[in-house]
Amino acid sequence: MRPNDRKYSESHEWVKIDGETALIGITDFAVQELSNGNESDLVYCDLPEPGRVLTAGETFGEIESVKAVSDLNAPIAGEVVESNVAIEEHLEVLSKDPWGAGWMLRIKPERKSLEGLMDAAAYEKFCASLKH
């Protein structure tokens, strides 16, 4: 079961409100789809510089594996406060801990509403529907 303390997008990003900011990352489902469970299959990640203002749904970077390149999309609007540059050098963190150390961005959200995103139960159903 995925964490209940965050919301999920159909493009497999998660967002978690953390005080005045929000953390954004990609889900275990996205990591699995990109890497087939082999963490060395993830080869590249490009994250934005602090100060960039994102709109909801906007592509903010990309992640690449040996089999695919996938856009990273902002689940909510806001200004990038910090990028987790450590994962650009250590992509295995995404396989080991997508919910914690594998966060990608810290943003100052335009607003704290996470309307339009799925809770953990809805995301579970969404992922299950993709496997059939």
Q: Which domains does the chain have, with CATH numbers?
A: 7-112+120-130 (2.40.50.100)
CA 78, 81, 85, 87 dihedral sign is negative
Residues with Cβ within 8 Å of residue 21, at least 6 apart in sequence: 81, 106, 107, 108, 109
pLDDT in tens, 44-86: 999 999 999 999 999 999 999 998 899 999 999 999 999 999 9
Give the separation between CA 119 and CA 124, rounded to whole angstroms: 9
pTM of the model as a whole: 0.94
The band of 113, judged by pLDDT with boundaries at 50, 70 and 90, is: confident
Helix (H) or strand (E) holding 17: strand 13-18
The band of 23, judged by pLDDT with boundaries at 50, 70 and 90, is: very high
The band of 9, judged by pLDDT with boundaries at 50, 70 and 90, is: very high
Asked if residues 9 and 27 have their Cβ atoms less than 8 Å apart, the reply is: no
The predicted pLDDT at position 132 comes to: 58
Give the separation between CA 64 and CA 53, rounded to whole angstroms: 23
Give the separation between CA 92 and CA 68, rounded to whole angstroms: 16
Beta bridge mates, 16? 23
Mean pLDDT of the region 4-10: 97
Out of 5-14, 101-110, 111-120, least confident range: 111-120
